[in-house]
Amino acid sequence: MTPGHGSPTSPPTRRGIMFVISSPSGAGKSALSRLLLQDDPEIRLSISVTTRPRRPSEVHGVHYHFIDVPTFHQMRERGDLLEWAEVHGNFYATPRQPVEQALGEGRDILFDIDVQGTLQLYERMREDVVSVFILPPSIAELQSRLKRRAEDADEVILRRLRTAETEIARWQDYDFVLINDDLERCFRDLKQVLVAERLKRHRQPHLPGLTEALLKDLRAVLS
Ligand code: ADP
Ligand code: 5GP
């Protein structure tokens, strides 16, 4: 059992971090998310629902739960969604139950969601959210990454570039901004953000007990 996940002998459980990564499409957030999930066993991906068609490389239940539009509306009306947005003409949303369960168990959760979704999480759970915005080094590079990915039709790519205008303009809503020029370097920076956030005082509930014990021992040594 890892620290923070709670057992009779481990430190008290902290609440998990909601680690949000957003970027214009093609800037590299899926690549960065993949690296983070492989590297860090303590963070899990929040698997969104979407009404967008599945890409050839995607697996239902791994990358997304692919659902139809009536199902999306049913989930929304039942209050099953923590946040939702219409992005590039499709619906995307975060199912509520897995997130609330993971946070209560002290697990960190990674969200690959857009700016609209991030703002909704701020409204509901600002204390738990750490947000990172990924910028491409240039628009030419963004365009060429979208083309290289070769999983979307030309008109879909054009639509994503148009949406990028409003997305890039929201960079100031985020706690951290990284420029994804070199993927390895950007990934190192992303990891450092997560490590530093885990060390924040309010996320270490064992500190009052630990410092109290240290002071008690110190007084005993000095007396
Ligand atoms: P997003 O999830 O933001 O839409 P992806 O992670 O799918 O973007 O990245 C788009 C394409 O660019 C992918 O083919 C990915 O492998 C590639 N890519 C990501 N980061 C870099 C980088 N720093 N340098 C070169 N190619 C990159
Ligand atoms: P894609 O179609 O490339 O997988 O994702 C398109 C956009 O939708 C990206 O900006 C991605 O972050 C966003 N997105 C994916 N899942 C969610 C979600 O659950 N909620 C919101 N608000 N945006 C999402």
pLDDT single digits (tens) 72-110: 999 999 999 999 999 989 999 999 999 999 988 889 999
What structural domains and CATH numbers belong to the chain?
18-222 (3.40.50.300)
pLDDT at 1 over 60: no
Q: Given this model, what pLDDT does residue 10 score?
A: 57
pLDDT at 9 over 80: no
pLDDT bucket at 4, cuts 50 / 70 / 90: very low
Which tens digit of pLDDT belongs to each residue from 26-45?
999 999 999 999 999 999 99
CA of 204 to the centre of ligand 2 (A): 31
pLDDT at 11 over 70: no
pLDDT at 8 over 50: no
CA of 119 to the centre of ligand 1 (A): 24
CB of 148 closer than 6 A to ligand 1? Answer: yes
What does the alpha-carbon distance between residue 146 and residue 73 come to, in Å, rounded to a whole number?
30
Q: Which ligand is nearest to the CA of 53?
A: 2
What's the pTM?
0.92
pLDDT bucket at 120, cuts 50 / 70 / 90: very high
Q: Given this model, what pLDDT does residue 42 score?
A: 92
CA of 120 to the centre of ligand 1 (A): 26
The side-by-side arrangement of strands in the sheet containing 90-95 is 65-66, 49-50, 90-95, 81-87
CB of 120 closer than 6 A to ligand 2? Answer: no
